[in-house]
Amino acid sequence: MDTKLIIAISSRALFNLDTSNTLYETQGVAAYSKYQVEHETDILEPGVAFPLVKKLLNLNKYGEHVEVILLSRNSADTGLRIFNSIKHHNLDITRAVFTSGLSTHKYAKAFKSHLFLSTNHFDVKEALESGCAAATILPSITIPNDREQLRIAFDGDAVLFSDEAEQIYHKNGLEAFARNEQNSALKPLPYGPLQGFLAKLHSLQRQLPYENCPIRTALVTARSAPAHERVIRTFRQWGIRIDEALFLGGMDKAEFLNAFGADFFFDDQEGYCLSASQHVATGHVPHGIKNRS
């Protein structure tokens, strides 16, 4: 298992459970359970993260590279509908945890997941605090594509990197931030919460065909010159190849994510996430100074 990219995902991120979730919120757990059992042969429609999972699992045609694990707040009884839907959609998911309403984040770490995706903000926060890379899946407007290649875009500060530089910007402004980044250009940025996930993606890329590699990554950051040099040198020091780097100087990221053809985007700032989610499946990483109460 250690050689694989391991993704833990909640059932509501994988499938559209809006109808049954509304029933749970309005009528309670008994009505929800009854509904799920009565409809357990009704196949669930794909959720926001379904295309990402499909493309990740498709990488296994090159070897046993990826495992996806289902983590659900359903009970095992109500979860039968989810397993029936997994089988119908031909998803190679065999490991699962059903917690009957309790938080699932501790199992993401127990499975040594490189990434945990959930629609539950509290589960994601707890996962991050325990040291597991995680993001909250937002409701997103996405257009499915037939492209086999998986394209994942990341913000930089507080996502791939720590929020060390972002704290300076927050406290002292853009000029102080730019001056600090120039002075620290030769000092690699500390790891952020998703650095390990990117490193695992890069390791996987090295095992896959180089020409027309089925994974492509991009950094899409609000940074601009002269704050670019420290970022480039950080990737170099980490030994990680990022396929595309977009230094946007504060411009809205949505159109650029479209241009890149992103299948998924990770950012720590809710504003960028909400804008991006109108075009691409988006995960909010609630980490760093921008997410402190």
Active site residues: 155
Instruction: Evaluate whether 158 touches 137 at the Cβ level (below 8 Å).
Output: no
AA letter at 153: A
Q: In whole angstroms, what is the distance from residue 247 CA to residue 245 CA?
A: 6
Q: In whole angstroms, what is the distance from residue 199 CA to residue 265 CA?
A: 16
The residues with which 220 forms a beta bridge, in sequence order, are 246
User: C-alpha 205: how far from its chain's center?
Assistant: 18
Q: In whole angstroms, what is the distance from residue 244 CA to residue 7 CA?
A: 23
**CA-based nearest residue to 64, from 2, 152, 146:** 2
Tokens of 2: 């250690």
Count Cβ atoms below 10 Å from residue 54 Cβ, excluding itself: 18
